[in-house]
Amino acid sequence: MNKTFFKQVKIAAFIVCIFFVVAIVYFLFFYSNKDIEDKQKSLSVRFNSSDIILLKNTLPISDQLGKDNDGNTGEESVQPYLEFSVKNLNNKSMNYDIILTQQFTEKNQIKDNYVKLYLTDDKDTSMDGFQGNFVPTFYDFYYLTDKPSSKLLFSDSLEKGESKTYRLRVWLSDRYSISFEPEEFSFDVDVLAK
């Protein structure tokens, strides 16, 4: 009887331990995923068109023309700007990143050191890192370690209920030589809460 009693106690202890391990794993998994979902749901992002930018049959232009592009050129060879707004739906301030992810196709790729980027607010005031005469190229931005094909364009924060609107102008540098082979460069824009 003594041996049977100890055997039953060991089995009961083992079952209780298994129950606690499963409960802890479930708790960590459920709440860590909920935290990620809550962060994403607390940030509203709206684009005026697709969040994908495709440079194809685009003419090279000067930095001044690229920065002054009002988005209403009416010409297929000039890329209209991408306008998007970000709103904080959370009850506290929130930091976020604007991320660019290059899309690779089987077509010939335009080299990323010819793709110019200029970020402003909706009043066309240039954001930090886009001021002065230097206009960065896609190549100039650093790859993110946790997202190997993505680059960080800009980081910012929003107070509770605040929203901001951005305009991203993209063009081919006037140093780019037009190729007789079809070439393109494509990337998508994403906004992620931190």
**CA–CA dist 99, 93 (Å, integer):** 20
pTM of the model: 0.75
**CA–CA dist 40, 193 (Å, integer):** 6
pLDDT tens by residue, 147-193: 878 999 999 999 999 999 999 999 999 999 887 888 899 999 999 99
Q: Are strands 183-193 and 150-158 parallel, antiparallel or unpaired?
A: unpaired
Find out if CATH 2.60.120 is the number for domain 44-193: yes
pLDDT tens by residue, 59-118: 899 999 889 887 665 555 567 889 999 999 988 999 999 999 998 877 788 999 999 999
Closest of 172, 188, 174 to residue 56, by C-alpha? 172
